[in-house]
Structure 1
Amino acid sequence: MATREEVSGGETLGVALVVLSAVGFGTLAVLGEYAFAAGLNVTSVLALRFSIAAAVVWPVLFVARARSGDLDSLRLRGRTLVAAVLLGLVGYTGQSALFFLGLERLTAGMTTIVLYTYPVFVLALSVTLLGESLDARDALALPLSLGGVLLITGADPAGVDPRGVFTVLGAAAVYSVYIVVGRVALDSTDGVVLSAYVMPAAALSFLTFGTATGRLALPESALGWAAAVGIAVLATALAVSTFFAGLRRIGASRAGIVSTVEPAVAVVLGAFLLGEPVTVVTVVGGALVLVGVVLVQR
């Protein structure tokens, strides 16, 4: 039996891992802005993101599972394999494309705040499609989160384009479908393994689309390569792996609450690195979104 000190140490490590994950995800929008500044388009950024991330994750995962004698866990079969690949080809592809298309019209911080409404969309889908119960906290979460988005959309024109807001809300909705479908179809599957299959599938989508439309291009500057590699390693491979590692130690509810660090990281990085405006309205609206997210955590 683990001692109290061991349990406490494991929880501390779990929180630290989820915070690290949130910081990694929080860099995504800022690095995306740098990629755009270097001349990369959305298709190229995402093709590079998932290709590089898959090339990083699979060798590390293979070595880790080989050392633990658990290589068989890397093999998905039958319907599980098909579901994982489709989640990458359609779900994560759609979410990522809408996120970066919205980022072209919004600040990095605002894009991340709006995307962070996705837990409330997950709640709505879970109640509607999976028959999960809705309590008073849940009923309050939806108007709080969407009210926060409406507040920053209507009162902060310097950082907000309504078309960008609706595009990123679309990304949040698609991501919520991805999560709910993944929960049902892949309930017994290791989250890291699932992500390892999603990444190359998403890369294939963007590589195919980019080749067919002639929009695929490699970075032509050090800034472009640095942004693309940063997105793939920091905001994808590292962020995903540390999240699941922390999740195993502290559980889904606490991990979800700790992850609310992510929008704050994006806002702070956007302000310091990109000179993006941070108004009182942005802070209040973002706080409403995060309170709604915390309320729906189990």
Structure 2
Amino acid sequence: MDERTVGTAYVLASAVGFGATGIFGTLASDIGLSIPTVLVFRFAIAAVVLWLLLAVRGRLRPLPGRTFVYAIVLGVAGFGAMSGFYFWGLEYLTAGLVAIVLYTYPAIIVVVTIATNPNRISRTLVAALCLSLGGVALIVGADPTGADPRGVLIVFAGAVSYAGYVIGSERVLESVDPELLTAHVLPAAGIAFLAIGLAMDAFAVPAATETTAWGVLAALSILSTAVPILLLYTGLPRLGASRAGIVSTAEPAVAVVLGAVILSESVTIATVLGGGLVIVGVLLIHRRT
């Protein structure tokens, strides 16, 4: 197979892994694991996997002072905040709907671009923004019970956080390897949720005999965090950022399908149409940028 085909396979596999996040999050909630507990172990286990891989490759090293501070901020206010809102949203929405709403983050980046650099905006990007936000509005308006507005607002806050993470990461990644940056972002997010969990008395280490709990935590941390991150970084050089972004739009579709198959979540026409609008909007954004 040529490099582009191999890159597509890596990025698509990454999208499948990320798309399963909501499934593991829902299963964790069903067995009584709190959000801080889930996210502390998710980030801790995934970070250890990345550290070990970087160490084996001889690429594990501390970040320079200012870059280290940026990584902490990105971990706490960006990736960490997004994850917190994501898992909180699962208490109100299906895994599929959470993934769809979160995927409005490229449209939010367009909004930031409009505000900070109007010269980069085109009719195509404005249309993409309208399609993405219109898709979410369609889902909520057509099925306000199934798409709880509270959950939509919570996950939308996560999308804003993730958009900030993406924008903030761009400058840092000009001088830092993405895997090394992520290896610092993940523990920063984990420590933040450990502090939150201890402050709220909501953090608890599952007993060694709770095999189901540890199985869910391990699957979330490895299959839906560490492995997808590594697959994405492996596929990016072969495929390019723009094409990788297009392939990654499979993520919300995967979440909807897995939610229906594994969790028996209902899939309405509004969900399909609204999700389709969001994906088309994202495709337009990636095609234009």
Question: TM-score category by the smaller chain?
Answer: over 0.9
What does 1:1-298 correspond to in 2, within 5 Å? 9-64=2-57, 66=58, 71=59, 74-130=61-117, 133-219=120-206, 221-297=210-286, 298=289
Question: Is 1:34–1:224's contact at 8 Å kept on the other side of the alignment?
Answer: no
**Identity over aligned residues, as a percent?**
46
Do the aligned partners of 2:17 and 2:228 also contact (CA within 8 Å) in 1? Answer: yes
**Is contact 1:158–1:277 with CA below 8 Å preserved after alignment?**
no
Q: How many residues align?
A: 285
CA contact (8 A) 2:113 2:121 kept: no
- Judge which range, 147-156 or 183-192, deviates more: 183-192
SS where residue 74 of structure 1 aligns?
A: coil
Shift of residue 87 of structure 1? 0.9
Please report how far the alpha carbon of residue 245 of structure 1 lies from its aligned counterpart in structure 2 after TM superposition: 1.2
Provide the C-alpha distance between the structure 2 equivalents of 1:187 and 1:127, rounded to a whole number of angstroms.
Answer: 23
TM-score (ref. length: structure 1): 0.92
Q: How far apart in 1 are the matches of 2:196 and 2:145?
A: 33
User: Contact conserved, 1:42 with 1:97, CA < 8 A, in 2?
Assistant: yes
3-state DSSP class of the match of 2:204?
A: coil
Q: What's the TM-score once normalised by structure 2's chain length?
A: 0.94
Rounded to whole Å, the distance in 2 between the matches of 1:28 and 1:129 is 33
AA matched with 2:140: T
Distance 1:26 1:242 in 2: 14
Report the secondary structure of 2:257's partner residue: helix
CA shift digits 1:124-156 (9 cap, x unpaired)? 213323566011210101110000001011112
What letter corresponds to residue 13 of structure 2 in structure 1? L
**C-alpha distance in 2 between matches for 1:232 and 1:9:** 31
In structure 1, what is the Cα distance between the partners aligned to 2:18 and 2:145?
Answer: 24
Q: CA RMSD in A?
A: 1.5
In structure 2, list runs of 5 or more residues that go unmatched. Answer: none
Structure 1 unaligned runs (5+)?
1-7
Change (3 A) 1:134 1:290: same
Alpha-carbon distance between aligned partners in 2 of 1:49 and 1:18, rounded to the nearest angstrom: 21
Cα offset, 1:57, TM superposition: 1.2
* Native 8 Å contact 2:86 2:154 kept in 1: yes
